[in-house]
A and B are shown apart, each in its own frame.
Chain A
Amino acid sequence: MAANIKISSFQKRIKPSNPNILGTKISAVNSTLNVSFGVTSLDQIIDGGLPLGSLCVVEEDIYGSYAKIITKYFLAEGAMQKNFLLSASLNENPWDLLNNLPSPVTEPRETNIIENREELKIAWRYENLTLEDNNQRLGNAFDLSIPYVMPETQKANLAVWGETVTPNLQRGTGTLKNSNCLSLLKAIEEAIKKWELDSGTSPNLLRIVVSSFGSPFWQFDENKSSLSTDFTATLLLLKSIVRSTNAVALVTIPHQLLNQSLVSRSRHLADVVIQLKSLREDPHLRDLMDVHGILELKKVANLTSLKPILGQDGTTTYGFKATKRKFKIEKLHLPPAIDDDKSSPDHSSSLGCSSAASKTNLDF
């Protein structure tokens, strides 16, 4: 009798051999590993964060200042989770972004010591438990005004790509002609190889941030004929790189400067598309005085099924508030419509039927 004949199809459930990847959470909706954005309010909207292996495109507000805040949070969360970070920027020195990350703030936990608590007679099992809201702290909280001082051990986890790093650029001869793009993709591949993220068993992930992709500094307009192919090909290649490794990419594009068709192509390509619009760009938004701008989720792709992520049917608009310390996203609501009583006192007496003597409120 052979020893290994399987009589039944019963298989004992064994723990999966893959170690937990740092910085990811399993999504309850579709079992993907989601990478947190760092902004807890944004995570709540996008089901816990970006799926591992996806490309997120952030369409910047004008001059990109709010988009920069999001990238800072993204990198800061990565620093807290000890992920590998790669910052690519031609607008400014990429080290500037990494040196000015917000530092984490531990919110003071309210120690809910209940005094004179009644002895729980029925729910006596809960007597020793503390009152703690388990859902409250889904992630880290950051303070934008305090730059994060990275511990020395973690500095080895950083990589940059920028003008200062790659001086001599050769024009490409293949499909991808733009030398900046070629060098960026090469740098990403080298980082992945260095940190062995494509092996399938790495316990860590790489967060790639490309700032202002498509801005004039990238020189896409050098060769008009290859402009569109270079832009979309780079995004496509970036997406394929992150799909096959433990990486996630966040690319911000200044969509006001680019041709609309390029922006549409990038929307089709990316997995998650977020658009930021600051109040100064749209005069109609002036009424929304308590937010600094609007965040629209143009696309949230579900990588593992056809069903859209719960709640994302495009009807909710979100606003963001950026203060010196925090960046927060919330659902938009119109401010309460309070009657602006601009009329001067002499008008009020003839408003409707009121007695001339008393100005009391009408009493029904």
Chain B
Amino acid sequence: MILKDLLKQPPVSILIQDSFYVKGRPLFLSLIHNYSKNGYSVRYFKYDSPLSSEKSEMEQLEFSWQTCIFNENQDSSRTAIESCWSSDLANNGKHLVVAIDSLSPLLLNWTVGELASALRNLQKTTAVAVVALVHGDVHDKETVQALNYIFHCHLTVRKAQGRNVCSGVLRKGSGKLVDSDEYYSITDQWEVKDVEEVVEPSPNVVVDSLPKNAVPKSTFKLDLNAKEEEARSQVVLPYIRKQASSATSETSKGQIIYEAEAPDWDDEDPDDDLEI
């Protein structure tokens, strides 16, 4: 129950991976809304689209946000962006959440290694939890694998049976890996609710293709119909009879019963009929 626990516990670094079919931004926004409601200060960086398009939404969410978009006027070098992230970090010592929406534009210009060290530098000064969104279908497999390596917790959103499902993998400090699959839904107030575990409906018990009397496919009729089966089960077998008779005390140890027969000693000379 990773998502459920994430909503209750202090923030950790999370990577949310979505795709074209299922948008991960609602979950992303509601997670950071949850953190800001719980008293952690959130700094939100929007790289995907200009801030103005969703201004009212942002205002509703009420956390300090910034935007550093790549355009010609602004310095899009790595150091500038990093300094953007780490400015004003030396504050009250509370847990800080840096929300990055999303990593995909950054990855178009940076390598994963640079991103990794930038994130590492961010965490040097204070305890910062980075919540990042990334569009998994935009990048190649190696990049996504490397990103999964960097972040300890990743959530993938997908749709199953018409509902939103969040599959999570959490790597704990001790090295243990926890998997989970949960349904979730987002309200208008950006709250996550209805988090329940996905229970796969157990498939209808498939009748074993090998029935009790396994009959190989052939042109011969090897089945028994009901009457024949009944007759077959009525057959009393010899050892059963014996077992019934020696039921109680006789331990059925193997016995060799030998009766000494008359010695087989023939006086005749077997070579008699030879005519040499």
Please, how many residues of chain A have a CB less than 8 angstroms from a CB on the other chain? 34
A128 → chain B closest CB, angstroms: 48
Interface string of B92-132 (1 = CB under 8 A from A): 00000000000000000001111111001000100000000
State whether the Cβ of A305 lies closer than 8 Å to any Cβ in chain B: no
Residues of B within 8 A of A350 (CB): 212-213, 229, 233
**In whole angstroms, how far apart are the Cα atoms of A302 and B41 in the complex?**
58
Contact pick for A363, options B175, B229, B239, CB 8 Å:
B239
Nearest A residue to B239 via CB reads: A363
Contact yes or no, A69 B175, CB < 8 A: yes
Residue from the list A215, A280, A353 in contact with B177, Cβ < 8 A? A280
> Which residues of B149-198 have CB atoms within 8 Å of chain A's CB atoms?
149-150, 171, 174-177
Contact with B along A217-243 (1 / 0, CB 8 A): 111111000000000000000000000
Minimum Cβ distance to chain B for residue A127 (Å): 45
A188 to B: closest C-beta gap in Å: 21
Interface centre among A354, A355, A363 (most CB of B within 10 A): A355
Number of A-B contacts (CB under 8 A): 78
- Cross-chain contact B212 with A351 (CB below 8 angstroms): yes
User: Counting CB contacts under 8 A, is A27 at the interface?
Assistant: no
Residues of A within 8 A of B217 (CB): none
Given A347-B212, A353-B237; A68-B175 close (CB under 8 Å): yes
Q: Are A222 and B149 in contact (CB under 8 A)?
A: no
Q: Is the CB of A221 within 8 A of B212?
A: no
Chain B residues in 8 Å Cβ range of A65: 171, 174-177
Is A163 an interface residue, CB under 8 A from the partner?
yes
Count chain A CB atoms within 10 A of each CB in B142, B213, B232, B234 and give the residue with the most: B142
Please, how many angstroms separate the alpha-carbon atoms of A144 and B176 in the complex? 14
Write the nearest CB–CB distance from A22 to chain B, whole angstroms: 30
B260 within 8 A of A: no
Interface flag for B243 (CB, 8 Å): yes
CB pair A256–B145 under 8 Å, yes or no, is: yes
The prevalent SS among residues of B at the interface is helix
Q: Is the C-beta of B236 less than 8 angstroms from some C-beta in chain A?
A: yes
Q: Which residues of A contact B229 (CB under 8 A)?
A: 350
- Chain A, range 328-352, C-beta contacts under 8 Å to B: 343, 347, 349-351
Known: A347-B212, A350-B213, A351-B212. A257 touches B149 (CB 8 A): yes
- Chain B interface residue number, banded: 20 to 34
Q: Is B199's beta carbon under 8 Å from chain A?
A: no
Could you say which residues of chain B place their CB within 8 Å of the CB of A362? 239
Complex Cα distance, B124 from A1, in Å, reads 78
In the bound complex, do residue A353 and residue B239 qualify as a contact, i.e. CB atoms below 8 Å apart?
no
- Give the contacting residue for B113; candidates A68, A220, A347; CB below 8 A: A220
Write out the residue numbers on chain A whose beta carbons fall within 8 Å of the beta carbon of B145. 256-257
B176: A residues at CB distance < 8 A: 65
Query: Looking across the interface, which residue of chain A has its beta carbon closest to that of B242?
Result: A363
Interface check B262, CB cutoff 8 A: no
Residue on A with the closest CB to B234? Answer: A356
Report yes or no: B233 in contact with A257, Cβ–Cβ below 8 A: no
Residue A10 at the chain B interface, CB threshold 8 Å:
no
CB distance from B262 to the nearest CB of A (A): 34
Q: Which residue of A lies closest to B116 (CB)?
A: A216
Which A residues are closer than 8 A to B by beta carbons?
A: 63, 65-66, 68-69, 90, 163-164, 215-222, 254, 256-257, 280, 343, 347, 349-351, 353-356, 358, 360, 362-364
The 6 closest A-B pairs by CB, nearest first: A65-B175, A219-B113, A216-B116, A221-B111, A216-B146, A216-B112
